[in-house]
Amino acid sequence: MARRILILMGHPGAGKGTQAREIMHSLNIPQISTGDMLRDAIARKTSYGVEAKARMDAGELVSDEIVNGIVKERIQQEDCKNGFILDGYPRTVAQAEAFRAMKDPSDHLVVIEIGANAEDLTNRLVGRLMCSGCGEIYNEYSRAPKTPGVCDFCGKQLFRRSDDRQDLIRERFKTYQEETQQLVDFYKDKGVYHHVEGMRLIRDITREILGIVDGYREVTPVPVREK
């Protein structure tokens, strides 16, 4: 059976995490990020996990070879049998080539970039609040919690990221554009790249993404945790 594989790209703060959670529940496939995979491999003491920990303890970068190996191990686990969502991988064309080699030719791959511009992102991120418990994302201007500083869903405290400042946001936006253009071109050439405008209602973005993953067939909007 062909798996549905979704790679989410986007500027920091464009809404990848929010969309990944909504799509994960709708399609019943896991969201797996580079950080999650790395921590899991280290906790399970796999060969790649042990090597990654040694590199990190020595203050070195984790090589593409290790990252690719960890991804390969992760996507072979039982919960990925119907598909999965990748967030934060691949980051380079070299990693994208490695991923092509490890997936099955019958897998249905869709790459979606959630687009935004620097001005809109700055306005969104300076008001961003994140839950320290479940990871839910709020915004003090457009999606405030019912009780200030407290998550609606798990009751944990909300916090503001230290890098959600105007100067740093604009620098991250510029860095993203410079680092990912080659990857965008790579996936465009493969015919699997799609661009979705991210400065809209969460439910509208989710519906469009699901339509793309489902081959442009009409889909029923999924319920989102949105006030």
DSSP helix/strand/coil, 70: helix
Alpha helices, H only, 85-191: 93-102, 118-125, 166-190
- What does the radius of gyration of the chain's CA atoms come to, in whole angstroms? 18
Q: What is the largest CA-CA distance in the chain?
A: 51
Catalytic residue among 81, 161, 188, 225: 161
Catalytic residue among 91, 156, 165, 170: 91
Catalytic residue among 16, 74, 143, 207: 16
Separation CA 118–CA 212 (nearest Å): 25
Strands 137-139 and 108-115: unpaired
The reply to whether 172 belongs to the active site is: yes
The reply to whether 91 belongs to the active site is: yes
> Are 52 and 63 within 8 A, CB to CB?
no
Catalytic residue among 4, 21, 128, 207: 128
The reply to whether 124 belongs to the active site is: no
Catalytic residue among 4, 21, 143, 172: 172
The reply to whether 161 belongs to the active site is: yes
Residues written for the chain: 227
Catalytic residues: 16, 91, 128, 161, 172
